Chains A and B, each alone.
Chain A
Amino acid sequence: MIARIRAVTDKPIRHLVLTHYHAVRVLGAAAYRADAILASDATRALIAERGAEDMASEIASLSPASFAAATPSLASPGRR
């Protein structure tokens, strides 16, 4: 994702918006090294409530094939 952004712009990534709590969207947020990660109160509450469970579920569903490509596959299973 960062590589894609870098193909368009070299500006710093200062803000990251989490559109919703799903692990496939939220996990890895730290990798952007943004100044601020923005989320609605409801999304933050859901991350707090379900984040751990969601992460476990996503990791359990990963297969070695998921790592075969250099970038995560858009078709990987799990919630989007």
Chain B
Amino acid sequence: MTFAREMTLWLGSREVRIIHIGRAHTAGDTVVWLPKERVLFAGDTVEFGATPYCGDAHFRDWPATLAAIRALGPEALVPGRGRALTTGSDSRLAIEGTEAFVTRLFALVRAYAERGASLKETYDAAMRCAAARFRAVGHLRALHAVQRLARLRRGDRDRPPARLDGRARPRAVARAGRRDHSEDRRGARLKTGRLRGQERRKRNAMPTTYTNPRFPFRRPPELDGKGGSARVVIVGAGLVGLTLALDLARHGIASVVVDDDDTVSFGSRAICFAKRSLEIYDRLGLGHKLLEKGITWKVGKVFFGSSLAYAFDLLPEDGHRMPAFVNLQQYYLEEWLVEACAETGLVDLRWKSRVVSVDPRADGVRLGVETPEGAYVLEAEWLAACDGARSTVREALGLPFVGQVFRDRFLIADVVLKSDVPFPTERWFWFDPPFHPGQSVLLHKQPDGVWRIDFQLGWEADPEEEKRPERVVPRIRAMLGPNVAFELEWVSVYTFRCRRLERFRHGRIFFVGNSAHQVSPFGARGGNGGIQDADNLAWKLAAVLKGTASDALLDSYDAERIPAADENILHSTRATDFITPKTEAARAYRDAVLLLAREHAFARRMVNSGRLSLPHTYAASPLSTPDSEAWEGGPAPGAPCVDAPLEGGFLLNRLGNEPVLLRFGGGACPVLPGVRLVTVPAEGTAAERYAAPSGAAYLVRPDQHVAARFQTPTTDRIAAALSRLWGAGDAAAAREAA
């Protein structure tokens, strides 16, 4: 006996409804429902503790069918596999578990099919996903869905769910043959993939919202037998080199900056500028520009699967001039730096000038520089290598890195969204989202309507292949949905390293930024770390050049910035380990943490999508004078000063780039030469944030870190701390003790 939708049997007074409730496990699924007893015999539409067989499944219909089953409100449910469930909540659990499996598997297979992945790739991804997410189900049957896909491709049996076969088939088949050679092809590409400069630009040229300025080559005096020496030479007019040049100029120190190119950075580079970096640029006079043009944000959200794991607020209190983060394309900031450097009249910026030899000497460095109009020799008293991860200076010196390369690949896509945007101005990070199963995705908003999307690809991904718009566009469409119009602004594929040089100072040469250390992008610690290097070096080099400090002060660059780099490397390595688990156990831990984070605060601390850049506290620095009084809070010696609102402005703007005695409250105060006195009220937010009793004082360094603090400042104590700050080290401490 058959029926189209439903029939009812009466067994005595017991009503038994037999319902073809919708397509799910097969096209003809039927459940038996006892409405009075609220008992459901679900057939294979619902499984419990067992993987649903999906070989004949209707993936698109199955969730709706489960919704209909759920709507019946069963208090007991007999699944197709697994024990009978005798409570309403167990029944719901079984329905939800089945739905989770079906929807995730379908999303994964569809995503792979849409981008033309081979059957093998799809199968492997499905098994990885299933192994990671549905371990509890015992025998894994994810492959059945993939087998179904295979049958569909052979043209067998019923019509496939929309789009699963038609589009994927020809490309997948075509690709299947080629994949066999993928290893060889990748090897060949790696060699040709190391294109530099112009060549690389041509291949990736597609930014539409920004056109790089071209700066003219100016013939230097050295080519006409004049000049030939400079007190400071900076190699690399990138973010870090220009920052250092501007900072030196603000200290009155001239520099020559050489760069082999004739423009600012190209394409998508650093975008997240952390509070501390913003404060540094505010000191240098560019803070307002970053605030005006940049995208300010402070809230981050972390998603796991399709739901929110938790949200965080990076700056929950008011009374700071600078926000937690500003997103801005690096090239804008570099342009402003070039302008600001030019305005100082102290920066000799030489484009199209490539360093071809580095000859370190006891009293300086001899550089060979090549230009379009000839080569020349430049003698530098001091050299700052700000020439990035592939530093020419570092290679010339043959200095090795210590650290780690991560076996994973990430795709950067900068996208201009043309229609209403479904995202707020927040940092969003997805672990294992339905639109990019098994991997992670990071989203940031930038100015000009540009959005940065990072897709984790896995180590097996072919970097050249993944950059093709035919591959990139479907990934983005899967994420944004069919109704969001967008244009690709930039695409690149990267791997990364967490490593550093053993020392950053080599005699008269300093390595600054990426030439000294490299980190993964999670946490925005690359650019920000480099900016903070420059901030640390500039005042020290200026002091030595002016004769106010001895050479020994420069050793503190190593003493302070190496631990800072280690902190950045540590956080970025941990984040990378969490985001790209290396073992099944690590993945199980990660997934458990993410599930727990939804409900439990303790687990949120363990989620690591990147610990966002915070300034390093130079706690063990030889320049810091340890506390000799008990302080309940406030920035400790070595920590950066904390901002606070003051009448008519902000505290950090009252400091500068010279030593400051920050005094809380009035009254008599020792005055020392070379130290500017800044007095703020003994009551109020500033005093609270500095935990300062009335009359207390902080000795602030030129880079606005704390050198020392005193609840009862005396001339002797301040003088000793100042002497120590200028690099006199333990001698001052010994005098103070005596």
CB distance from A27 to the nearest CB of B (A): 15
- A-contact bits for B157-197, CB 8 A (1 contact / 0 none): 10000000000000000000000000000000000000000
State whether A15 and B44 are in contact (beta carbons under 8 Å apart), knowing that A39-B28, A40-B20 are contacts in the complex.
no
Check if A80 sits within 8 Å of B2, measured CB to CB: no
Q: Which of B3, B26, B53 contacts A46 (CB 8 A)?
A: B26
Q: Which of B9, B20, B53 contacts A80 (CB 8 A)?
A: B53
Bound Cα distance from A46 to B25, whole angstroms = 13
Q: Which residue of B lies closest to A22 (CB)?
A: B26
State whether A18 and B55 are in contact (beta carbons under 8 Å apart), knowing that A38-B1, A41-B2, A41-B3 are contacts in the complex.
no
Bound Cα distance from A18 to B7, whole angstroms = 13
Check if A38 sits within 8 Å of B26, measured CB to CB: no
Residue B370 CB within 8 A of the other chain = no
- B-contact bits for A48-80, CB 8 A (1 contact / 0 none): 001000000000000000000000001100011
Of the stretches B29-37, B424-432, B649-657, B682-690, the one at the interface is B29-37
Q: Which of B7, B18, B27, B31 contacts A42 (CB 8 A)?
A: B27
State whether A39 and B30 are in contact (beta carbons under 8 Å apart), knowing that A19-B41, A19-B43 are contacts in the complex.
yes
Q: Which of B9, B44, B139 contacts A20 (CB 8 A)?
A: B44
State whether A80 and B26 are in contact (beta carbons under 8 Å apart), knowing that A19-B31, A38-B7, A42-B20 are contacts in the complex.
no
Residue A37 CB within 8 A of the other chain = yes
Check if A21 sits within 8 Å of B81, measured CB to CB: no
Check if A20 sits within 8 Å of B28, measured CB to CB: yes
Check if B30 sits within 8 Å of A43, measured CB to CB: yes
Check if A80 sits within 8 Å of B44, measured CB to CB: yes
Residue B668 CB within 8 A of the other chain = no
CB distance from B514 to the nearest CB of A (A): 56
Q: Which residue of B lies closest to A44 (CB)?
A: B2
Q: Which of A15, A18, A21, A37 contacts B9 (CB 8 A)?
A: A15
Q: Which residue of A lies closest to B45 (CB)?
A: A19
Interfacial residues of chain B within 8-67, with CB under 8 A of chain A in the complex: 9, 16, 18, 20, 23, 25-32, 41-45, 53, 55-56
Bound Cα distance from A79 to B80, whole angstroms = 11
Q: Which of B1, B4, B28, B55 contacts A37 (CB 8 A)?
A: B1
Check if B32 sits within 8 Å of A17, measured CB to CB: yes
| B1 contacts across to A, CB distance below 8 A | 36-39
Check if B29 sits within 8 Å of A19, measured CB to CB: yes
State whether A19 and B80 are in contact (beta carbons under 8 Å apart), knowing that A42-B20, A42-B27, A43-B28 are contacts in the complex.
yes
| B31 contacts across to A, CB distance below 8 A | 19
Check if B56 sits within 8 Å of A79, measured CB to CB: yes
Bound Cα distance from A18 to B20, whole angstroms = 11
Q: Does more than half of chain B's interface fall in helix, strand or loop, or is it mixed?
A: loop
Q: Please, how many residues of chain A have a CB less than 8 angstroms from a CB on the other chain?
A: 24
Bound Cα distance from A21 to B43, whole angstroms = 11
User: Which of B1, B4, B7, B23 counts the most A-chain CB atoms under 10 A from its CB?
Assistant: B1
Residue A45 CB within 8 A of the other chain = yes
Bound Cα distance from A39 to B20, whole angstroms = 9
| B55 contacts across to A, CB distance below 8 A | 79
Check if B4 sits within 8 Å of A41, measured CB to CB: yes
| B3 contacts across to A, CB distance below 8 A | 38, 40-41
Bound Cα distance from A44 to B20, whole angstroms = 12
CB distance from B125 to the nearest CB of A (A): 23
Q: Does more than half of chain A's interface fall in helix, strand or loop, or is it mixed?
A: mixed
Q: Which residue of A lies closest to B5 (CB)?
A: A40
Q: Which residue of A lies closest to B43 (CB)?
A: A19
Interfacial residues of chain B within 118-164, with CB under 8 A of chain A in the complex: 139, 157
| B27 contacts across to A, CB distance below 8 A | 42-43, 46
Check if A17 sits within 8 Å of B25, measured CB to CB: no
CB distance from B388 to the nearest CB of A (A): 58
Check if A38 sits within 8 Å of B53, measured CB to CB: no
Q: Which residue of A lies closest to B20 (CB)?
A: A40
| B18 contacts across to A, CB distance below 8 A | 17, 38
| B32 contacts across to A, CB distance below 8 A | 17, 19
Check if B30 sits within 8 Å of A17, measured CB to CB: yes
State whether A19 and B4 are in contact (beta carbons under 8 Å apart), knowing that A42-B27, A45-B28, A80-B80 are contacts in the complex.
no
CB distance from B633 to the nearest CB of A (A): 63
Bound Cα distance from A36 to B7, whole angstroms = 13
State whether A43 and B26 are in contact (beta carbons under 8 Å apart), knowing that A17-B32, A19-B44, A38-B2 are contacts in the complex.
yes
Bound Cα distance from A55 to B459, whole angstroms = 43
CB distance from B383 to the nearest CB of A (A): 71
Bound Cα distance from A46 to B13, whole angstroms = 33
| A45 contacts across to B, CB distance below 8 A | 28
| B81 contacts across to A, CB distance below 8 A | 74, 80
Check if B2 sits within 8 Å of A20, measured CB to CB: no
CB distance from B15 to the nearest CB of A (A): 13
| B157 contacts across to A, CB distance below 8 A | 50
Bound Cα distance from A37 to B44, whole angstroms = 18
CB distance from B34 to the nearest CB of A (A): 12
CB distance from A50 to the nearest CB of B (A): 8
Bound Cα distance from A67 to B9, whole angstroms = 36
User: Which of A25, A42, A50, A74 counts the most B-chain CB atoms under 10 A from its CB?
Assistant: A42
Bound Cα distance from A46 to B29, whole angstroms = 11
CB distance from B164 to the nearest CB of A (A): 20
Q: Which residue of A lies closest to B157 (CB)?
A: A50
Check if A40 sits within 8 Å of B53, measured CB to CB: no
Q: Which residue of A lies closest to B25 (CB)?
A: A20
Check if B29 sits within 8 Å of A20, measured CB to CB: yes
Check if B2 sits within 8 Å of A39, measured CB to CB: yes
Bound Cα distance from A42 to B61, whole angstroms = 15
Bound Cα distance from A37 to B18, whole angstroms = 12
| A43 contacts across to B, CB distance below 8 A | 2, 20, 26-30
Bound Cα distance from A80 to B41, whole angstroms = 15
Bound Cα distance from A41 to B2, whole angstroms = 5
Bound Cα distance from A40 to B9, whole angstroms = 14
| A46 contacts across to B, CB distance below 8 A | 26-28
CB distance from A73 to the nearest CB of B (A): 13
User: Which of B28, B32, B45, B56 counts the most A-chain CB atoms under 10 A from its CB?
Assistant: B28
Bound Cα distance from A74 to B5, whole angstroms = 30
Bound Cα distance from A41 to B6, whole angstroms = 10
| A21 contacts across to B, CB distance below 8 A | 26, 28
CB distance from B141 to the nearest CB of A (A): 9
Q: Which of B4, B42, B139 contacts A40 (CB 8 A)?
A: B4
CB distance from A1 to the nearest CB of B (A): 13
Bound Cα distance from A20 to B24, whole angstroms = 10
| A80 contacts across to B, CB distance below 8 A | 44, 53, 80-81
Write 9 A-B pairs (CB below 8 A) sorted by A numbering: A20-B28, A37-B1, A38-B18, A40-B4, A40-B20, A40-B28, A40-B30, A43-B30, A45-B28
Q: Other than the known A19-B42, A40-B3, what 13 A-B pairs have Cβ atoms closer than 8 Å?
A: A17-B30, A19-B41, A19-B44, A25-B43, A37-B1, A39-B1, A39-B30, A43-B2, A43-B26, A44-B2, A46-B26, A74-B81, A75-B139
Which residue numbers of A lie inside 8 Å of B, CB to CB?
A: 15, 17-22, 25, 36-46, 50, 74-75, 79-80
What 10 pairs across the A-B complex have the smallest Cβ distances? A19-B43, A43-B28, A42-B28, A40-B20, A20-B26, A40-B28, A44-B2, A19-B30, A36-B1, A42-B27
